[in-house]
Amino acid sequence: MRLKEERENILQTVGDTPIIFLKDVSKVLKTRVYAKVEAFNPGHSAKDRIALYAVNKAEEEGRITEGGTIIESTSGNTGRSLAMICALRGYKCVLFSTTKISFEKQAILKALGAEVHICPASAKSTDPESYYTRAQAYHDRTPNSIYVNQYYNDCNIEGHYYSTGPEIWRQTEGKLTHYVACVGSGGTISGTAKFLKEQNKDVKVFGVDAFGSVLTKFHEEGVFDESQIRPYKLDGVGKNIIPGTVLFDRIDKFYQVNDAEGLQRARTLARTEAILTGPSGGAAIEALYQMKGEFKPTDCVVVVLPDHGTGYLSTLYNDEWMSSNGFLNTEEDQVELVENLNGLKQGY
Ligand SMILES: Cc1ncc(COP(=O)(O)O)c(C=O)c1O
């Protein structure tokens, strides 16, 4: 017997995430702002979409068969999505992450049965110890394996072209004027923007980057400038390489965010809109404030919140961690945080 509403497995709940009106952000920016809340995916992030798309494609093309191994270099979210798929389909999941990964994210990967290798976050991409090099080397020596390699895999773009893009267009009833998303591998912004600009070429697409990443300068000047690279805490935002999956020509402008502002904005969002997002979601909201002059009251803005805040309870949502990293300990920060909260409550 089958129930009408049954899902065959949890992967059938990937996608179709809601867009949610952000009342306070909209009030301050004097336009209508909606969040595409990707935490509604079963793996709590947008990466479920591309992981499922990439594995389905590899299976269709016969690149992986029963008993195979799925390998990825990941800051945690793609790994979590792949670990779910592996648990259901019987593949071995081998993940390479960096010392930047939070305790919670690592624990989740292991809970889902993945093997996790931690590599130094400071290693250059070509360093034998970097998470990219080690993932590639593992793939090279493992028969019947795929290395998803989201930074250079077109599936990362297509997964969003065929799901996130059409969803946003449908959900905004064709009224969308601005699309704002963080850029890490670039899959989210590129696939979605490609679809949206095909529907209406006037839709503006803004990328969110971190200070310490090379993407903004590359977009503005076509230069890969290694001197831009420095450590930062906004997981998933920006890169120290130029991924093959960023369609720079579909992005109108980049905005860069610093750690303190991005993290504090996520904390404010939790207390004003009751949406618990990760550091990249905070960075995206912070970038919106930088874009304020771009919007008219009649506009319709969609911002992607890529993942759920529960992955960051020991970091972003831990006062001690915030203070010891210098993100809450200056009087100015404290005052600004309180002013932000009060200002939002009063509508400025
Ligand atoms: C938490 C988080 N936010 C944002 C992104 C950026 O998305 P994309 O890789 O599609 O550019 C990532 C990617 O790793 C991520 O893990």
- pLDDT tens per residue, range 31-81: 999 999 999 999 999 999 999 999 999 999 999 999 999 999 997 899 999
Is residue 47 annotated as part of the catalytic site, yes or no?
A: yes
5: CA distance to ligand 1 center in Å?
31
Residue 211 sits in the same domain as residue 286: yes
In a domain, 158, yes or no: no
- 153 within ligand 1 shell (Cβ under 6 A): no
Residue 84 sits in the same domain as residue 183: no
Catalytic residue among 23, 36, 47, 233: 47
Residue 116 sits in the same domain as residue 213: no
The reported pTM is 0.93
Structural domain harbouring 276: 10-40+163-333
Cβ 260 vs Cβ 327: under 8 Å = yes
Residue 129 sits in the same domain as residue 196: no
Q: What total of structural domains would you count in the chain?
A: 2
**Closest residue (by CA) to atom 14 of ligand 1?**
236
The continuous run of DSSP H or E covering 94 comes out as strand 92-98
Side by side, the strands of the sheet bearing 92-98 are 115-119, 92-98, 69-73, 145-147
Beta pairing class for 19-21 and 92-98? unpaired
Residue 245 sits in the same domain as residue 98: no
The residue from 150, 181, 205 where one domain ends is: 150
pLDDT on residue 348: 37
pLDDT on residue 347: 45
- 185 within ligand 1 shell (Cβ under 6 A): yes
Residues of the chain with pLDDT below 50 are 347-348
Cβ 302 vs Cβ 200: under 8 Å = no
Residue 206 sits in the same domain as residue 290: yes
Q: What are the beta bridge partners of residue 303?
A: 35, 180
